[in-house]
Each structure stands twice: as structure tokens, then as C-alpha cells.
Structure 1
Amino acid sequence: MNALELRAALALALVYVLRMLGLFMVMPVLAVAAMDYPDYSPLMVGLAVGGYGLTQAALQIPMGMMSDKWGRKPVILLGLSVFAVGSFIAANADTMSMMIVGRILQGAGAIAGAIMALATDVSRESQRAKVMAIIGIAIGFSFYLAVILGPLIAKNWGLAGIFAITGSLAIACMPVIKWIVPTGVKVSSGDTLPQKGQLAQLIFSSQLWRLNVSVLLLHMLITLLFVQLPVTLVHFDMTLDSHWSVYLPVLGLSIVGLVIMMGMARGRTPKSFLISGSILMGVAFFALALKDHSWWVTTAAVVLFFTGFNYLEANFPALVSSIAPAGQKGTAMGIYASFQFFGAFLGGILSGVITDIWSAEVAYMVGAISTLIWLYVLSGLKEVSRVKRVTMSGQFIDTQVLALRGKLLNASGVLEVTLNSQQGAVYLKVNRDFDANEARRIIDSA
């Protein structure tokens, strides 16, 4: 990467870390800290934990498309502003209802698609994977950091302090976007942002819907867990500010488990490993559903849960990228992200309603049973090999598309071809045998 690309990658990663810290820090804290509010109930807690997911799911695709019309930075700055307003409303809330309003507004700042598009704009095709990898690592890091910091901040400043810090971090991101991240040349690529005309086809894709439902269940389960787990730990006479002492070793051990699974997979994503990840999460929920489990059983269950969660969270996006047709990755990832955030909303609602009517043990059991449905969904997923996506430019007209596609499909290592004559774009899915020079000669001779 050159200096410009490195600056963009690090700056965008910082924005992601600061923003996601705000969303995640609340999760291990809210279920216990919210007991001080006059309108507290498990349902309200579920809405507060997962409420941001509803607006994130609804606005993820529209705001990505909007960044194509208005520009990346204006949409990102708008999203950060809305997120900050929601954070400060939640910080000053004296009822759960008002806090939920703040959380829903936080979710309305759905800028993930616009940030990824900006990362594409400021990086060369050859370096784009590295830029995306840096941002991806930052997202994972922000989650682990938030789970540990949340209880510590709550000890000194309470729930209001977490939301106030969250709003302040969002404001701190604005000058980074405005002046530090380069603007770049806008790339309106079907592999970068959702395209309206592709939505129906990809939603009902025979393989992609399985990954979309899988990520919905994945984030439903982690939200369900964080609505229940802090209260479970309190029952072991652990104060909220000491919960980090459980999360820190648990996350450390789960990362070791992730590394072991990744090593065994040898750079591939076998279906058996995806099924194993969901089984680990299911076993964890079954263990937590036991009425008289010990602290050690709880800790072991949470290690199993996060080992499975980490593996699936890391591998599902790569599978979406491999399965999505050439030139349609942006739409596929937009749909995937919408399902992901709706899963968080669903997990909060489900957990709150079940705990209100029955008990935490029943909520854990529902989580366990949902993994059985998940196994059925995953059983129909076909094995796929990781592929590389390449975008090239060329000058050709509609009447040349059919012949050009045929020639490119016969080129070394080319698996799929999508051509857009209006944009002069050639989208390719390729394997390791791909010869870029050969493809370039074919396009130039069209």
C-alpha cells in the first residue's frame, strides 16, 4: 500500500472502532444497569439492546445507494451526526422508553456501506483487499474492547456515561472523515454498493439466503445472550464492574479456539466447520438453560459460544463474497448486513418477551432450539472454494457483450463474467490460474 492508502485504511478503521465501541459497550451492561429505571422490564431491556438493529437493517442499503448520489463523506457525516444525537438522547434518558428512542436513532446512522465504498474509492484494485482486511480487523477488535470496557466505564459513570462517551466518540470521528481520509475518485461498482435491480434476484438466491438466515440467527443469538448473561452473572454475586474479569479470559480462550479451527481448516471453509460452529453455540445455550448450573459451567458455555461465534462471524462474509455473482457482491453484502442487524433486533425482542412471560432459562432454551433450525439451513449449503474478484475497465457496446463474455470465460482462471457496457466495467470471478494480462488483451481487442 502507498502512503495515501495506508492513511485511508487506518483512518477508516479508527472511525469503525470508535463508532462500534459505542454500539457494543452497552451490550454487557444494559441488562443490569437498566434496573434503576422506573419502567424497567425484560422486554424493554430487549428493545434497548437490539433496537438499533431495526433501523440499521432498514437503512443499510438505502444509505449505501445514497452515497452514490450525494457523495461518500456527506452520507458518512450525516450518519455520524444522527448516531451522536441518538447517543446523547440515550445518555439523558430517565426512562427506558426514551433510551430506546436513542438506541433506534443510533441505528439510523447506518454508514457501513458508505465507509466500505469510500475505502474502495481511495484504494487501488491490487491493494483493496489489504485495506478491507485492516477495517475488518478493526471491527473485531472493537467488539472485544467494548465488552471489556463497558462494565468498567459503567462502574464510574453509569449507563449515561457510556452513552455520553459514545456520542463524543462519534463527534470525534467527524474531523477524521472530513480532513484525514482522502476523498478519492468515486467508484460506482456493483461489487462495492447495492444495486436496486439486483435485490430480488439475490434475496432468493438458493445459496445466499442460507447465509443471510445464518447471520440473522448468529446475531439473534449473541443479542439474546447479552440480554441474559449479565443478569446470570449477577446471580453468582458478581457486581457489574467485575464482569470484565469473566469476559477477558473467556474472549482470550475463544480466540485460541478460533485459531485452532482456522488452522484445521487450512485456508478453506468446509461446511462441516460451519456446522461445528453452530453446534458449539447450541451446546452453550443448552448448558446455560440448565436450572442449577454452576459458575464454571456458565464460563465454559460462554467460551464455547464465542469460539463458534468468532469462527462463523469471520467466515460468513467470505462465503457471501465467493457465492455472489460477479459484479453483484455489493448487493449481496448489503442484503447480508441487513439480515445481520435485523437478527440483533429479533434477539432483543425475543429474549425480552420470553423472559417477561417465562424465565431466563426458557430464553436460553429457545436459543438452543433455534440452532437446530440453523443446522437444517446449513445442511443445504454447498461447498464453495474461495475466489478472487477482479474489476477491469474497457470500451465495448451492447452488441459486443455476448462475444466478449464468451472469450473471457475461455481465458485462464476465469469462472464468471458480468459486463456493464454503460459503465465500461468488466466484473470477473477468478481462481489462482487467472492471467490478468490475457484478460486485458481480450478486453482491449473487443
Structure 2
Amino acid sequence: MMNALERRSTFALSSIFALRMLGLFMIIPVFSVAGQAYQYATPALIGLAVGVYGLTQALLQIPFSLIADRYSRKPLVVLGLLLFALGGAIAAMSDTIYGVIIGRAIAGGGAVSAVVMALLADVTREENRMKAMAIMGMSIGLSFVVAFSLGPWLTGLVGISGLFWVTTVMGLAAIAMLLMVPKVTRHHQNFQQGYLAQLKQVLKIGDLNRLHVSVFTLHLLLTAMFIYVPSQLIEFADLPLASHGWVYLPLLVLSLFFAFPSIILAEKYHKMRAIFLVAITGIILGLMVMAFGFESKYVLLTGLGLFFIAFNVMEALLPSWLSKAAPIQSKATAMGVNASSQFLGAFFGGMIGGQLLLLNNTSMGWSILTGIAIIWLLMSFGLAQPRYLSSLVLRLPESRQTDEWTSQLLAIRGIEEVVVMSEQQVAYVKVDKQQIDDASRQQLTHLLGKEVAI
């Protein structure tokens, strides 16, 4: 069970993620039409205005995350959200398409997705990490559906410039949500290295690279599907574009009933690798169903349902697995590389989805996406089961300096990291039970003045 601090922090950080994504996604279903009203607008520049956000996100995730592993994460999140809000304001005040492109690029410069996820990993215990990541993943999925329903309605109400102002307000509201997250100080075994060496260390870890390829492929398939499937819902399911949100929302809710039991199974019984491979298989099955039965309304919706269920399981598994596989001192850096891979996947997914529309062969299009997913599955068999850490929740000592106390804790074999929340007077101590021996238990008992069950 999550404690009150974990619940509050998960809600706040998921809300920050959702507000940013909502601001991004609301533009997508309307800008190809509304953007034509801007001076100097061309189809290519309209496409650039939509896509430049993802490009700057992909480029700046790693620099932000490298800094986040050295310094406090919360000020970086505030900086990123201010850039997001500023970019929205610049786009809102622009009369030309070039102004919108500049605004969107600046908004994308607030590339703090990985920093937010690393902060969530700091304030949740290992055994609750996947639940927290699942909630964040679901909030992103929900924001996608809400945005596609809300964007056209808001544009009709306040215009496209008003929609950009709404994104600015969302960025500022997200900063307010950050007040609910405790201030943390991270302590771990000190491995001093330069930024480049830190990045190289992360890029040399085979399982991390497989996870980066996985998130790239997952979001490539998602983006390509959302470009490819709307025309089929209109043609074969007789559903107008304005009603598509009402298809996605029930499928998203349905997926929760499958996703959460899968997450509990993966974490509680250490079945993460098996659930991961089953989820990729589910994505393949969903795509295959759509490849062979897209002309039937109910078969098409069944395939979409399978895809959504498997997608949401993967969306929860990936960040949790990443936080387990990443070196303690480079957690944000690994998440930054992963976030860059995600945005690049979405970028290439958009390009592939557009090309699939030009094929004019629906079955062939779904088959190509199925082939990509099968290659992903084959590559994922090389993944090893992740390391499982446990967490202790300890009160901070009243009679000792915190820095001295944490140093003594980290000197004990099996203690990996200590995250201190001074305002709450508690610390989360991450423990590798495989490394703890009798000598370690005696040292811990002596330091704490009581025996701790590990």
C-alpha cells in the first residue's frame, strides 16, 4: 500500500505530466486546419509547427537529465514548466506561422519528462514504484483522449490563439502542483565522473538500450496507429471524427482492469520480464486482428482494445523497469535517453503513418506495423529479469547530523541509496536484499538502535 506521502506525490507529478501532455495534444487535431489562417502558412510549415515541439523535446531531454543527476530536480522541473508556459504565450501572441514555430520550439525546450519521472522514483518506495508509474502512464493516456475531444471544442470557443493561452495556464497550474511534492535530498555511493562519461556509462548497458528501443517502438506504433486508424473508424465503423474520443475513452478504461492486475503480478511475484513479453505479444495480436478484420466494425474495435490493453501495461512497465536497471547515480540520465527515444519514436511514427496512408492498402499497412512489433518482440528476448530492491522507511535521527547518518548507512553493504525528506523527517532507504549479510544486519541494528527485519 502507498503511504499518504506517496499518494500525494504520485497525484501531483502525474497531474504535471498530464497537464503538459494535454497542452501538447489539444493542438494536434485542430492545427492542420486552423493553422492555415496564419500569415506565411504552408502545409510544410504547419507540419513543422506541430512537430518542432517533439524535436526540441528529444534534443534536450538528455541535457536536462544529466543536470538532474547532479543537482536538485524540483528547480529543473519549474524551469521546464516556465519554458512550456512561455512558449505557449509566444505562440498565442503570434500572427505568423513563424512565431508559432518559435513558440512551440521554446515550449518543447522545457524537456523535463525524465526529470519528473526520476523525481517520482525518488519519492516512492521500490515496491510501490510500478503502481506510481502506472498511474502516471494512465494519466498520459487519459490526457490524450481528453485532448482529442477538448481541442476542437475549445478552438470553437476561444480560437487557436486562445488554445495556446490555455496551454500557458496549464503550464503555470503544473508549477502549483509541484508544491505538493516533498523536497528531497539524495545520498548514494559517490561516483564522480564527467557528464560525457556518465552518458557513456548509461549507453553501454545492454538492457537499458533494449528498453530505449522498446519505448521508441511502442510510441512509433502508437503514433502511426492514431494517424492510420481514424479514417478506418469513419469508413468501416461509421463513426464521425468528432465521436472518436468516445471510442478511445471506454477502451482506455477497459484496459485499466487488465493493466493493474498485470502490474501487481509483475512486481509482487517478480514476473516483470514475462509480463513484458506477453504485453508485446498482445500488441502484435491487436495489430494482426486489425490487419485481417479491419472491414468489420467489431473486429476493428476488438483489435484496438487489445492494442490499448497491451499498450497501457507497457506504459507502466517500462519506466519502472528502467528505474530498476539504471545505475543509482545516473537514474535521470537513463530516463532522459529513454524520453528522447520516446519522442523520436513518435516523430518516426508520424512519418510512417503518413506513408501508410499513401499505400491505399489497409491490410498491407497493418501488416507492416505488425512486422515492426514482431522484430521488437524478438529483440526483447535478450532482456534479463531486473534487480529487485526493497525500501525501508526510517525516521531521521534527532541526535545526529543527517549527512553523517546517511554516510554511515551507505557504508553498510547492501544499502544502495538514501533519499531524505527533511520537512517530513523521514528517509527512504533502498536495500539490495541479495547483498545484505549478518554483518550488515548487525551494523544496521547498531546504527538505528533497534533490529530491522530485512
Structure 2 length as normaliser, TM-score? 0.73
1:11-61: CA deviations, max 9, x gaps? Answer: 44433332233234456x35xx624654686x8887666543332222123
CA contact (8 A) 1:277 1:309 kept: yes
1:178-222 deviation line (CA, Å, top 9, x unaligned):
xx347735436589xx97233212212122211111111111111
Q: 2:183, 2:232 → 1: CA distance?
A: 49
Question: Are residues 262 and 440 of structure 1, via their aligned partners in 2, closer, same or farther at CA, if it must alter by over 3 Å?
Answer: closer
Is 1:76 aligned with 2:74? no
The answer to whether the 8 A contact 2:25-2:148 is kept is no
Deviations 1:206-249 (A, max 9, x none): 22211111111111111212222333333344333311221122
Matches of 1:182 and 1:93 in 2, distance apart?
35
C-alpha deviation, 1:366, in angstroms: 2.8
Cα displacement (A) at 1:314? 1.3
Partners in 2 of 1:13 and 1:155 — Cα distance?
24
CA deviation string 1:155-185 (max 9, x = no partner)? 42238355442222112233444xx347735
Distance 1:57 1:359, change over 3 A: farther
Q: CA deviation at 1:377?
A: 0.8
Whether 1:219 aligns to 2:219 is: yes
Q: Secondary structure at the match of 2:432?
A: strand
Quickly say closer, same or farther: Cα 1:96–1:300, change in 2 above 3 A.
Answer: farther
Q: In 2, are the aligned partners of 1:320 and 1:332 still within 8 Å (CA)?
A: yes
Matched with 1:313 is 315
> Is 1:154 aligned to 2:151, yes or no?
yes
CA deviation vs aligned residue, 1:326-368 (integer Å, no higher than 9, x gap): 5443433332222222222221233234435766665433321
2:344 to 333, 342, 345: 342
The structural deviation recorded for 1:369 is 1.4
* CA distance in structure 2 between the partners assigned to 1:375 and 1:71 by the alignment: 37
CA distance in 1, matches of 2:133, 2:264: 19
Query: Structure 1: how far apart are the matches of 2:133 and 2:359?
Result: 39
1:393 matched to which residue of 2?
406
Structure 2: 5+ residue stretches without partners: 394-404, 419-428, 449-454
> The residue matched to 1:187 in structure 2 has which SS?
strand
Tell me which residue corresponds to 1:22: 23
Equivalents in 2 of 1:111, 1:257: separation in Å? 29
Matches within 5 A, 1:159-238: 160=160, 162-177=163-178, 180-181=179-180, 184=183, 186-187=185-186, 196=195, 197-235=197-235, 236-238=237-239
Query: 1:302 maps to what in 2?
Result: 304
The offset of 1:138, in angstroms, is 4.7
Match of 1:274 in 2: 276
Query: Shift of residue 293 of structure 1?
Result: 1.7
CA-to-aligned-CA distance 1:56-94 (integer Å, 9 cap, x gap): 222123123445777544432321122123334555778
- 1:9 to partner: Cα distance: 5.2
1:264/1:251 CA distance change after superposition, 3 Å: same
Instruction: Mark the runs of 5 or more structure 1 residues left unpaired by the alignment.
Output: 409-413, 420-425
Matches within 5 A, 1:416-431: 429-431=432-434
Identity percentage over the alignment? 32
Task: Give the equivalent residue in structure 1 for 2:444.
Answer: 440
Amino acid at match of 2:383: L
**Cα distance change of structure 1 residues 270 and 14 upon mapping to structure 2, 3 Å threshold:** closer
Distance in 2, matches of 1:285 and 1:441, equals: 54
1:86-130 CA-to-partner distances (Å, cap 9, x unmatched) read 334555778887766554433221123444565678x5xxx6558
Amino acid at match of 2:240: T
Residues 59 and 438 from structure 1, CA distance in 2 versus in 1: closer, same or farther, beyond 3 angstroms? farther
Shift of 1:147: 3.3
Identify if the C-alpha distance between structure 1 residues 314 and 267 changes in structure 2 by more than 3 Å, giving closer, same or farther: farther
In structure 1, C-alpha distance between the alignment counterparts of 2:226 and 2:48, rounded to whole Å: 12
Give SS of 2:253's match.
helix
Aligned length, in residue pairs: 412
For 1:157, the aligned partner's letter is: L
Q: Which amino acid aligns with 2:252?
A: L
Task: Say if 1:388 and 1:431, in contact at 8 Å, map to a contact too.
Answer: no
Q: Which amino acid aligns with 1:373?
A: I
Stretch of structure 1 that moved more, 55-64 or 289-298: 289-298
Deviation at 1:385, TM superposition (A): 5.2
Q: Give 1:388 deviation, angstroms.
A: 3.2
Please give the TM-score of this superposition, normalised by the length of structure 1.
0.74
Q: What is the identity, as a one-letter code, of the residue corresponding to 1:184?
A: K
Higher mean C-alpha deviation, range 428-437 or range 214-223: 428-437
Deviates more, 1:131-140 or 1:303-312: 131-140
CA RMSD of aligned residues (A): 4.3
CA distance in 2, matches of 1:275, 1:45: 38
Amino acid at match of 1:224: A
Q: Per the alignment, do residues 264 and 149 of structure 1 end up closer, same or farther by CA in structure 2, a change over 3 Å counting?
A: same
